[in-house]
Amino acid sequence: MDKLLRTYKLDVGYRSVVVKDVEIEVSPGEIIALIGPNGAGKSTIINTITRQLIGLSGKIYIKEKDEASYRGEDLAKLMSMVTTKRITPELMSAREVVATGRYPYTGRLGILSKDDWDKVDEAIKLVEMTDISDRDFSKLSDGQRQRIMLARAICQEPEIMILDEPTSFLDIQFKIDILSIIRKLAEEKNIAVIMSIHDLEFVEAVADMVIAIDDSRVKAVGKPEDIITSDIIEQIYHMEKDSGKVIVEGLKEYSKALKKMINRKKYED
Amino acid sequence: MRNKTQGQIFVIFIITVVMIAITVFSMLLGSAEIGLSDFFKLFNGSTDEFTGNILLSIRLPRILAAIILGGALSVSGFLLQIFFGNPIAGPYVLGVSSSAKLVVALTMVLLLENGLVISSFGMIVAAFAGSILSMGVVLLLADRIRNMSLLVVCGVMIGYICSAITDFIVCFADDSNIVNLHNWSLGSFSGTTIEHVRISLVFVVICLVLAFMLSKPIGAYQLGEAYAQNMGVNIKALRIVLILTSSLLTATVTAFAGPISFVGIAVPHIMRGILKTAKPILMIPACFIGGAIITLFCDDVARCAFAPTELSISSVTAVFLSPIVIYLLIRRGKKNNG
């Protein structure tokens, strides 16, 4: 019973159900990848867990307590997130954006202590953005922004991190960097991660468990090597017969290479 | 970082000094010749009755009103800009001021016809009802119109409709008080009494304290709803408080000074430029002081530039501040195109 987060018969959606009977479990230090075609409902699940949406039925438990019973700021101390939504803060430096992660720990007026700023700088160092931290956030590249948003989520000192497509719009090197950092967080800080991802080639390198979603339900759950198979891939992405096999064969080689890269990167510093 | 904050606090200190200086300057400004020595005599009580009267009963209430209400208007604009996530929002351009004016005029005329005079408190209540009304319409429109510039155009139209109806009411109501009403409906601080100042001070201080205490969630809200929610902000409650506070501020201003154009939209922009930040904890006090300075200055121009004829305050603020709004629109257009 050491699950950090657990959903039970969770139905998610807007007015009508998008995904039914979602059951996700995540332990400390574990990374779960949500895969599935566009519009399958990965973001809907993530938005429900992070309270952007209200679950239609079922329960979410965090540390075996009903999520609904947590006060906003208490939940914020346990769970942080990075969404695909672009933020457009005005006149904020990258460091100030990261500092908003300390929000739940500050007093009524939201003034950061020296200790808070140290944690901000530590998180910035972890994502290797120290050099640009005083620059205006709106002038950063996509890859830099994504790292800054990740640093923001890190300095919130969560036990669970929810990441919606953290690698979208990034080039290959940035993808490797971001995923190495996430892997490192899980291993060193024992943070549980739930992330949606489109880049199947990275799944094996980064995830411990994979949940495949399609057709408004969870199609398969298991270890990456058991899920990224020709059958399942063909099925969830609605591919022509036998094309899954071709893709997965190619994917395996690339995946192996990326795994090497990510592990090397992780232990470099 | 620390130096930056210190610098910003120093800037706020400087503009406070400027505000005090322009207050003293405004006290001395006017058709009756009053020098600095007469002003200082006020403090030891040795002024003659005539000078004292002019300073304390005529100029002081008007100046205090310009400070309090001008500040209130810019804070209201700042809150609206946060709410809509857009720098072009403001109480005047969204039609809030005009509809507050309409409801006040309507209430006044109806009461006058029955031989009643509206109280200061009643004026604020009427203005608040008006501003909530148009805010409701704007929010309904905002749900359909995602484009902020279009929403502003709708707001301006709402403003025109309200002004037209107000003109109509003023035109056909028969009473000697209408002369006053006409001046007020264009926006003016003339005829402000110390009682007006007192009651508006109460409302404005309540709103300001509330806004300032909310600077933490407001700051989080600037990152967008999703992140604010994740940081533990109660979004619904915050949105309601933001709308109510900014409406009440605008209502208080409109009740006593009529609609004042462009202060609410332009001042927050100027202050962001000076302070190089959008943090509410610094911006709320800075907007108040900045709004006070600009409104007081514009009121000085309104009453002295063509004395003894008085201009309406809005014609002065429009001349000075609308170029800033145009600049904002152009810069925004550029940003969106590339």
This complex has an ipTM of 0.89
Rounded CA separation A151/A91 (Å): 19
- What is the reported pLDDT for B2? 57
Q: Does the beta-carbon distance from A71 to B232 stay under 8 Å?
A: yes
Q: For A117, name the nearest residue in chain B, comparing CA atoms only.
A: B1
pLDDT at B209 over 60: yes
- Model confidence at B338, pLDDT cuts 50, 70, 90, reads very low
The mean pLDDT of B207-211, rounded to a whole number, is: 96
Q: Does the beta-carbon distance from A85 to B226 stay under 8 Å?
A: yes
- In terms of Cα–Cα distance, which of B261, B258, B275, B281 is closest to B324? B261
Q: Which of B212, B227, B269, B282 to mutate to test the interface with A (most CBs of A within 10 A)?
A: B227
Angle at B21 between CA B16 and CA B25, to 5 degrees: 145
- Copy the structure tokens of residue B47: 């002024």
Contacts of residues A83-88 at CB distance under 8 Å and 24 or more positions apart, as own/partner, are A83/A46, A83/A50, A83/A164, A83/B226, A83/B227, A84/A43, A84/A164, A84/A165, A84/A168, A85/B224, A85/B226, A87/A149, A87/B223, A87/B224, A87/B227, A88/A138, A88/B85, A88/B224
Q: Tell whether A114 lies on the interface with B, counting CB pairs under 8 A.
A: no
Number of domains in chain B: 1
- What is the reported pLDDT for B105? 87
Q: Does the beta-carbon distance from B220 to A90 stay under 8 Å?
A: no
Tens of pLDDT, residue by residue over B217-263, are 999 999 988 899 989 899 889 989 999 999 999 999 999 888 888 89
Give B200→chain A minimum CA distance, Å.
26
Residue B168 CB-half CA count within 13 A: 9
Q: For B269, name the nearest residue in chain A, comparing CA atoms only.
A: A90
% of chain B residues with pLDDT over 70: 95
Q: Does the beta-carbon distance from B230 to A76 stay under 8 Å?
A: yes
Which letter does DSSP use for residue B59 in this model?
Answer: I
Tens of pLDDT, residue by residue over B3-32, are 778 889 999 999 999 999 999 999 888 777
Provide the domain limits for residue B254. Answer: 2-337
Q: Does the beta-carbon distance from B230 to A79 stay under 8 Å?
A: yes
Tens of pLDDT, residue by residue over B301-326, are 998 888 788 888 988 999 999 898 88
Rounded CA separation B160/B95 (Å): 8
Whether the CB-CB separation of B162 and B95 falls below 8 Å is answered with: yes
Question: Which of B 266-285 lie inside 8 A of A, CB atoms?
Answer: 272, 276-278, 281
- In terms of Cα–Cα distance, which of A30, A29, A74, A22 is closest to A48? A22
pLDDT at B284 over 90: yes
- Copy the structure tokens of residue A211: 């949940």
Q: For A98, name the nearest residue in chain B, comparing CA atoms only.
A: B223
Q: Does the beta-carbon distance from B278 to A90 stay under 8 Å?
A: yes
Q: Does the beta-carbon distance from A51 to B223 stay under 8 Å?
A: no
Question: Which of B 221-260 lie inside 8 A of A, CB atoms?
Answer: 222-227, 229-234
% of chain B residues with pLDDT over 90: 41
Q: Does the beta-carbon distance from A71 to B231 stay under 8 Å?
A: no
pLDDT at B298 over 70: yes
Give B34→chain A minimum CA distance, Å.
44
Q: To which residue do tokens 């904020």 refer?
A: A92
Q: For A50, name the nearest residue in chain B, comparing CA atoms only.
A: B230
Q: Does the beta-carbon distance from B232 to A83 stay under 8 Å?
A: no
Q: Tell whether A87 lies on the interface with B, counting CB pairs under 8 A.
A: yes
For β-strands A57-62 and A5-13, DSSP reports them as antiparallel
Rounded CA separation A53/A59 (Å): 13
The mean pLDDT of B163-187, rounded to a whole number, is: 76
Q: Tell whether B137 lies on the interface with A, counting CB pairs under 8 A.
A: no
Residue type, B171: C
- What is the reported pLDDT for B317? 92
Nearest to A110 among B1, B85, B281 (CB): B281
Tens of pLDDT, residue by residue over B27-68, are 888 777 777 777 787 777 777 788 888 888 888 999 999 999
Question: pLDDT 10s digit of each residue in chain A, 269 long?
Answer: 578 999 999 999 988 899 999 999 999 999 999 999 988 889 999 999 998 888 899 999 999 899 889 988 899 999 999 998 888 888 899 999 999 999 999 988 888 999 999 999 999 999 999 999 999 998 999 889 999 999 999 999 999 999 999 988 888 888 999 999 999 999 999 999 999 999 998 999 899 999 999 888 898 999 998 998 888 888 888 888 888 888 888 888 888 888 888 887 766 65
CATH number for the domain including B65?
1.10.3470.10
- Cα torsion B83, B88, B94, B96: sign: positive
Length of chain A: 269
Q: Which residues 6+ apart lie within 8 Å of B7 measured at CB?
A: none
Q: Does the beta-carbon distance from B278 to A89 stay under 8 Å?
A: yes
| Residue A65: strand, helix, or coil | strand
Per-domain boundaries in chain A: 5-85+160-268
Rounded CA separation A178/A166 (Å): 8
Of 3.20.20.150, 3.30.1330.60, 3.40.50.2300, 3.40.50.300, the CATH number of A5-85+160-268 is 3.40.50.300
Rounded CA separation B15/A145 (Å): 35
- What is the reported pLDDT for A84? 85
What string of DSSP letters covers A190-220? --EEEEE-S-HHHHHHH-SEEEEEETTEEEE
pTM: 0.89
- Copy the structure tokens of residue B187: 């926006």
Q: For A134, name the nearest residue in chain B, comparing CA atoms only.
A: B1
Tens of pLDDT, residue by residue over B67-108, are 999 999 999 999 999 988 888 888 888 889 999 999 988 888
Whether the CB-CB separation of B110 and B172 falls below 8 Å is answered with: no
- What is the reported pLDDT for B64? 94
- Copy the structure tokens of residue A139: 């002038």
